[in-house]
Amino acid sequence: MSSRIVLNTISYHGKGAIQEIVPEIRRGGWKKIFVATDPGLLQAGVTQKVTALLDEAGIAYDVYSDIKPNPTIQNVQSGVAAFKASGADAIVAVGGGSAMDTAKAIGIIIANPEFEDVRSLEGVAPTKNHAVPTIAVPTTAGTAAEVTINYVITDVEKQRKFVCVDTNDAPAVAVVDPEMMMSMPKGLTASTGMDALTHAIEGYITRGAWEMTDMFHLEAIRLISKNLRAAVANDPDGREGMALAQYIAGMGFSNVGLGIDHSMAHTLSAYYDTPHGVACAMFLPIVMEFNKDYTGEKYREIARAMGVENVDSMTQEEYRDAAINAVKQLSLDVGIPPKNEKIREEDLPQLAKDSLADACYPGNPREATEEEVIAMFRKLM
């Protein structure tokens, strides 16, 4: 059985990396840029760090910012219409996962108009053409959408999120500049950072994990454990460490999948509009406890990567507990709330059904019943 790795053709990392955007546009021969971003970044002046480069270079562009934190089918469809009206031939996505996921969906539909209903993109859609050429510029350190082949869209009408997995959506270029992340408030830094940790841990224990992705995931866990607290304090070195860590996690999980933490987090966000990273972080120790007997010796390496000492002298039960406790402590240190008061008892059966129907669930190392999923939701109430 072969294993596949899909990554960006080109990626740039480090302070000042955004200076590579104009040269990449020139190399691509693109004449007009569709800048996909969110209104908060526009208001904060973050997007303008990129558009100023386009202005200076005399490159034409239009800005699309009708993007919600959990992007909807309508966001995508209005973005497709805006792209067509603009006459653009390439996309620059500036933002977190929401902006980049919206840009991916827009780019795919423009190249594959038969999927313009958006819902038909769920799962592994049989698109034929690669998306519109896209340069992805993350402003958060968590989703790694700039390197993954995944994106998530919210179906408001059906009160659910759905995951799309498509090698044709991978951005042509990733520009990971930690200076674009300096304006993130503490709460967003914490939640996106814990999302990255969830990517790394779930990717490490997923059914599809293998040696190359294990390498990525363990290094991501190590870097996140070392840098997230400092990044929340807005330390530049912490920001740079997290910018790299979340990308490395994306290199791994994009190619092997995730697990039930993400399937439940998607459901929690769809029902109660809980920020995705917060939902992932809340579930992570609960899911690690649920999965621990199906992970062999991997929790020992998670504990080691998180800085736990003397793991080699611990019993299996001890190092598994140590890994879970290290995750709990990091989550506590960066201010993730341990409970979600919005969850309602009467919603639990449907929450469980939707979680088990999510595209991330099949990668989980342990199968779950609806009753077991309900029990995990209850632990957040």
Evaluate if residue 256 carries a pLDDT over 80: yes
Evaluate if residue 136 carries a pLDDT over 80: yes
**68 band by pLDDT with thresholds 50, 70 and 90:** confident
Which tens digits make up the pLDDT trace of 89-107?
Answer: 999 999 998 999 999 999 9
Which tens digits make up the pLDDT trace of 156-187?
Answer: 998 888 999 999 999 999 999 999 999 899 99
Which tens digits make up the pLDDT trace of 122-134?
Answer: 999 999 999 999 9
What DSSP element (H or E) covers 92? strand 90-95
**198 band by pLDDT with thresholds 50, 70 and 90:** very high
User: Which of the pair, 184 or 111, is modelled with greater confidence?
Assistant: 111
pLDDT of residue 2: 87
Would you say 303 and 311 are in contact if contact means Cβ atoms under 8 Å apart? yes
Candidate from 65-79, 276-290, 299-313, 364-378 with smallest mean pLDDT: 65-79
Which tens digits make up the pLDDT trace of 240-250?
Answer: 999 999 999 99
Would you say 73 and 118 are in contact if contact means Cβ atoms under 8 Å apart? yes
CA–CA dist 26, 44 (Å, integer) = 28
Average pLDDT, the chain: 96
Evaluate if residue 263 carries a pLDDT over 80: yes
pLDDT of residue 150: 92
DSSP string of 137-162?
EESSSS--TTT-SEEEEEETTTTEEE
CA–CA dist 18, 180 (Å, integer) = 8
Would you say 372 and 290 are in contact if contact means Cβ atoms under 8 Å apart? yes
pLDDT of residue 10: 96
CB atoms within 10 A of CB 157: 10
User: Could you give the domains of the chain?
Assistant: 10-181 (3.40.50.1970), 186-378 (1.20.1090.10)
Average confidence (pLDDT) over 109-138: 96
Which tens digits make up the pLDDT trace of 21-37?
Answer: 999 999 999 999 999 99
CA–CA dist 25, 13 (Å, integer) = 17
Distances (CA, A) of 126 to 8, 103, 129, 359: 20, 19, 9, 16
**135 band by pLDDT with thresholds 50, 70 and 90:** very high
pLDDT of residue 70: 85
Question: Token match 């399937």: residue?
Answer: 263
> What end-to-end distance do the CA atoms of the chain give, in Å?
42
pLDDT of residue 280: 97
Distances (CA, A) of 351 to 98, 199, 366, 373: 22, 21, 18, 8
